[in-house]
Structure 1
């Protein structure tokens, strides 16, 4: 639940990181109009960064930018398709021209749809891979070429997923996310010469608005996911954002090429040694404007 002030209005983001940590810096968050991207943008802005929100829908970006400004932060928006190479090149050029040096990139944008492998068309497979892998590569390459390489480095955090044991029902996304984890390692090595750090996060089942995109048929499954997590609950957007912001920060200055799992221990489940039922673990509810997905409301 979001934090509220005595007057009933939302209070500011309750980040665990130092106030002013990113003051004077410029950070890009792709897919910043909803879900985890929206949360990350809010936390970065609350910590002093000027946040550049990107996505395909200007209206969604404007809404989040207005929230950030209402909370006292600084935000700008650029609507374009990260899957289009020419659009990416042009958009990053405009960002650099307007804001100068870019300090961080959060490659959050992506998307997928549930389907068994035998039902996925080539077009559908290509679309998910382009969304979750190729688009992130294009953004990283252009931010590196147009800013990081010229201005003393920077930090990138890529988005992967809990795909360590395969991703049944979403094989196209699992393949793309595994590719992003590997790309993260390559970029971390090659771009270290320019003082660029590249890491990734791998969220598990997170209570985010993206869950509502799967339709009502998935609602029953979504409500059962927590029973397959040792911590007996789903994660919150703020619990992903805090790790992303740390990886962008000077506190992670000696970390590069890694993927941090944020999944409540779900991959550790064992049919041989089932856990006894127990109360859910405590949560970190830092995001004052968090909204529970419709699929989980009433759970």
Structure 2
């Protein structure tokens, strides 16, 4: 992160990262620590989050501390207790990254009521719970930065309709509350990762994981999968940093251009090799 941000940019500041034990959340927590921020990472699994906190400590800069707290973001009381513990330990809360979430791939007609409810409660209600607790316990009086990790769902997400609906709700919340809380010095913005690869991401989709991640790069305009440290951390940290004081209610898609690439004929030609053949013919 020192390639992009000063190692002291976040010195003395405090950030919460939900879902910080693995994948994207772990990478964001690492970047914050490297730039001097105290970090609280949260997850439902107490053992997993405490072990992740131990692993993250090696990246600490300028005396930054990382602690792991167990929290089920679907449970409002859990969220309130976790925010309270953070403020009690560090005395403040400058930033919140709502990364905790989850979904499973399924056609809409096969999703059960419980399955739909679980995904919406985690991704939409969980984000709402954390935002409101952060506001009520500290940011409402002191300002702060909130970043929500969403998805690149400009045209919906066939096969993931439950999470697409939930993340669209988060984007709308960010716009609505971004206006309501703007004069309190609170910024609320979203990061929409494209296809970001990590061992946990691949494993999450079971047998489909390797096939999905292995083939998607063929239709990404930049021709490569997203990487947490290389592509996702810096944009997220900007939204959490003191530099982000006049931007709110916005979403940045970090996806290598995939969310803009909806020309299916062009996709088909590229995948089948026809486009390369035509380009070679024209150059001759």
* TM-score normalised per structure 1: 0.85
Contact 1:15/1:242 (8 A) holds in 2: no
Correspondence for 2:17 among 29, 34, 55 = 29
Give the corresponding residue for 1:271.
264
Give the corresponding residue for 1:206.
196
Structure 2: runs of 5 or more not aligned: 277-284
- Radius of gyration: which is bigger? 2
Partner secondary structure for residue 264 of structure 2? coil
Give the corresponding residue for 1:155.
145
Q: Distance in 1 between matches of 2:73 and 2:30?
A: 21
Correspondence for 1:118 among 109, 112, 131 = 109
Correspondence for 2:83 among 92, 98, 101 = 92
Contact 2:197/2:213 (8 A) holds in 1: no
Q: CA deviation at 1:164?
A: 0.8
Give the corresponding residue for 1:181.
171
Q: Distance in 1 between matches of 2:106 and 2:47?
A: 29
Q: CA deviation at 1:62?
A: 1.8
Seen in structure 2, the aligned counterparts of structure 1 residues 74 and 189 have a Cα distance that, compared at 3 Å, is same
Q: CA deviation at 1:222?
A: 2.2
The residue correspondences of 1:1-299 to structure 2 (distance < 5 A) are: 14-72=2-60, 73-150=64-141, 152-208=142-198, 209-238=200-229, 239-269=231-261, 270-274=263-267, 276=275
Q: Which has the higher contact order (CA 8 A, sep 6+)?
A: 1
Q: Distance in 1 between matches of 2:181 and 2:86?
A: 21
Higher helix share: 2
Contact 1:230/1:264 (8 A) holds in 2: yes
Seen in structure 2, the aligned counterparts of structure 1 residues 267 and 70 have a Cα distance that, compared at 3 Å, is closer
Q: Distance in 2 between matches of 1:122 and 1:143?
A: 30
Q: CA deviation at 1:63?
A: 2.2
CA RMSD of aligned residues (A): 1.4
Give the corresponding residue for 1:294.
none
* TM-score normalised per structure 2: 0.89
